A and B are shown apart, each in its own frame.
Chain A
C-alpha cells in the first residue's frame, strides 16, 4: 500500500503501523517486548520501562466502554481493551441506540470503510453484527 495514494491520512513513523493495520482491518496496538506493557497512542518507546523494543500487535477486539459522548451524529467512546487495564482506544459506537449506551458496556471490534481507510468501530458484544459488514 503506497502512502502516496493516501493523501489525507497523516502518518508518522510512530503511527504508520497502526494505519497500515487499519487498511487490512487489523487493530494493532503497541506492546513492549521487554516488559510486555501495552500502550496507546503509538509511541517510540515504552512509557513504563523506557525500552524501545516496541512491536505493534493485533488485539482481540474485546473491551468495555469507560467513557462516552452523545454530542455527535452517533455515540463515541473510549473503549478499554481487555488486554490491559487502562489500555484505551477512542472509536465510534455502532448498532446501539444512544440512549442505551452505558459505562461498562461490553463491546466488540468491527470495521467501517471511510474510503481513505477502514476505521475501527465498536458495537455491543451481544449484537450479532450481521449488518456491520466486514468483521474480524
Chain B
C-alpha cells in the first residue's frame, strides 16, 4: 500500500461483560461513531465489510447498511475472522476503486453458547447456530472428546523450548497493566504473577488469564485513499503494508511444525514490502486471543523460533509490570483481548490508529509514529504496519 490508503475514522460501542444491549445495537453504534469520527455522513459510505462469526450468529453488513440507512453502497463483504481481515478487504476495495469510503466493523456478543452464565440469560439466546469446521475434519476429532489446541500448543512450546508459565504470565500481566490506563477496558484490576500462578488451570497448562475475555461490544473503522483522507476530520493514519492469510500446512491443530509458519510469512512480507524493520516500530499491538498465540507472534517479530521466552524476559520491566521490547517498544497499550475485551483483534487496530493520531489519551505512547498490528492464528491471521502523518 505504501501509504496510498489511510484509516480516517474509528468507532467503538461500549465494551462490557453484560451490556444490556443487543449485538445489533452495538454494531450500529460503533459504525455510526466511525463515520462521524471521519467527518463523513451516510451518503459518503459506499462500501461495508464485516466479519463472518463462524461459530456464532453474524451481524451481516446488510444489517448495518439498512440499520444506518446507507443509500449508496456498491461494495460489501463478510470476511473470515480475525477482525483485521475485514479491514484488509476494505483497504483492497478502496485501492482497487471498488468504493471510495469503506466502513469495516466487527461485533461480538456473549451468546448463550459461550458460557453457562450466558446460557441462563434469556436475552442471549442465539437466533441460530452454525458449526465451525474450517478443516472439514471435525468428525474425525470430536468423538474422542474435547481437545484444547491452545493448551496443547502451549504445553508443546514449554516442552520443546523451555518456556515456563511465568513467561506467559508476563504477557497476561503486561496487558492487564496496560488496561488499567484504558477507560474502555473490561478488566482493570491489577494482576500479579502470584495471582497468575495461583489461578485455576482451565486446560493444563493454561489458566483463565491466558484466555481473552468474552464481552459484548463492537468496533469499526473507515478507510479511504490517501488523497481523500486529507479532507476528512481527523489526521489520516496511513497503511504502509498489510498481509493476511496463511500458507500450508495449516490444519487448525497448531502442530509445532505449523505453528510459526503463518506469522513468519506475514512478518517477512511486511518488512519486504515496506523496507522497514522492527527498529522503525514504536508500538506493537500483538494478538492475544490466547497467550500462546502472542508467544508465536513475538517469536516471528522479535526473536525467532523458540527464543520467545528469553525475549520476554529481556523485555520485562519488573517495576512497571510491563514489557518493553528492545528496551522501548510497548505491547498493546489498550490491554489487548486479554483485558480490554475480546473483539478478535479489532481493538489492536483501533488503538494503533489513536496512538498514531496522538489521541490515545491515558494510553498514549509519546511520539508514536509507526505501529505494528497483528491478528489471529494459523490458519487465519493478518498484520499491518501503520504510520502517522508525521512519520
Contact = CB atoms under 8 A, between A and B. Distances in A.
A joins B in a complex: yes
Interface of A: 3-4, 6, 10-16, 43-45, 47-48, 50, 52
Contacts of B42: 50
B122 A13 contact: no
Contacts of A12: 22-24, 123
Contacts of A45: 25, 28-29, 32, 67-68
A4 B122 contact: yes
B148 interface: no
Contact of A10 (B29, B66, B127): B127
A11 B28 CA distance: 18
Interface size class of B (residues with CB under 8 A): 10 to 19
Interface string B18-46: 00111111001100100000000010000
A6 B122 CA distance: 9
Contacts of B67: 43-45, 47
A93 to B, nearest CB: 25
Given A12-B22, A13-B20, A14-B24, A47 B122 contact: no
Given A12-B23, A44-B22, 8 more contacts: A6-B122, A10-B126, A10-B127, A11-B122, A13-B123, A43-B28, A48-B69, A52-B29
A33 B68 CA distance: 16
A48 B66 CA distance: 10
Contacts of A16: 123
B29 A44 contact: yes
A76 B285 CA distance: 52
B125 interface: yes
26 contacts: A4-B122, A6-B122, A10-B125, A11-B122, A11-B125, A13-B20, A13-B21, A13-B22, A14-B22, A14-B24, A43-B25, A43-B28, A43-B67, A44-B22, A44-B24, A44-B28, A44-B29, A44-B67, A45-B28, A45-B29, A45-B68, A47-B66, A47-B68, A47-B69, A50-B32, A50-B68
Main secondary structure of the interface of A (DSSP, over half): loop
B25 to A, nearest CB: 3
A22 to B, nearest CB: 16
Contacts of A14: 22, 24-25
A43 B65 CA distance: 12
A3 B121 CA distance: 10
Contacts of B29: 44-45, 52
